[in-house]
Every structure is written in C-alpha cells, then in structure tokens.
Structure 1
C-alpha cells in the first residue's frame, strides 16, 4: 500500500513569469451601481487614468479596484515526492545518486 499524503509545507510565491493584473469597476450610485468596468491592465497608473476619465465624463467618484496575481506553490527544497491525488509518489533518483 502506498503512503498517504497528509501535508507538505508549501511556500506561496509570485510567479516571476506573469504580470500583476489590475482593473476597476465603478460602484457609484444610490439605488444601483454604475457598473462600468475598465479593461484589465498591467500597470496601476493605467487603471487610475481610466477612473479619472470615467469620473470626468460621469462625475462618479467611487470605484472598486482589483489586483490579480499569479502564484506558485513551491514545496520545500528537501521534499522528495510529488503529490498525485492525495498520495506521495517518489521521484526517481538520477544515476549515481541512489543508495547501494
């Protein structure tokens, strides 16, 4: 019977190959929100400019800004297994690194 995977202390890090995404939606309004949405940008100043232009056109001053990040879950350096549906699968050792 193979061992059951219980817990691996993963470290959460930002994916260095992906950009942070930022967007905004106008939530101004008394009974209902405006709901106008910006595009998704990769620079915060671009979404600020969209909010400024929308405010200039409509007078709206309340926005919800969202950031999206791509993340990686990285196992510790000494982790020698890989998780597969809740089980640990041993990694094959390169030639010359195995025990006799």
Structure 2
C-alpha cells in the first residue's frame, strides 16, 4: 500500500512591476440613458485628459473608471 503526502500551499497575487498599467473610462452621465462614450485603454495621464476633454465638450461629469495591471502568483510566506 502506498501513502500519499499532500502539501497545500497558499498563494497570493502581487502586481508585476514589469507589466504596463492601463486605465479606461466610460461616460455614465445622461438623463434617460448613459452617454456610453469610452476612452479605450490608455495610460493614467491620457485617461484623465480624456475625461476632462469629454466634460469640456459635453458637460458630462460622471465616469466609470477601470484599472488594469498584470499579476504574478506567488506562495504566501
């Protein structure tokens, strides 16, 4: 009879320092329905600029922002 030895390892996700970060924004202003105009993925500075320019051009001031990064899974210590 053979015996099995199980070793359970807990993991955590950490941000990959070599990965590029990205942001996007979608305009959710509107009376009857959301505007829906989207910035697409870009760096943080460009995303903020896009929101400011959209507000200037439309008067819309409410956005849904999304942040993206890359993660590395490593064992917990």
| Normalised TM-score (structure 1) | 0.65
| Normalised TM-score (structure 2) | 0.81
How many correspondences in the alignment? 76
**Structure 2: unaligned runs, 5 residues or longer:** none
Report how far residue 5 of structure 1 moved.
6.0
Deviating runs (4+, > 4 A) in structure 1? 1-6
**Structure 1: unaligned runs, 5 residues or longer:** 78-100
Instruction: Specify the structure having the higher radius of gyration (Cα).
Output: 1
Aligned to 1:28: 29
Alpha-carbon separation, structure 2, partners of 1:19 and 1:61? 27
Report how far residue 73 of structure 1 moved.
0.7
CA RMSD of aligned residues (A): 2.3
Deviates more, 1:28-37 or 1:5-14: 5-14
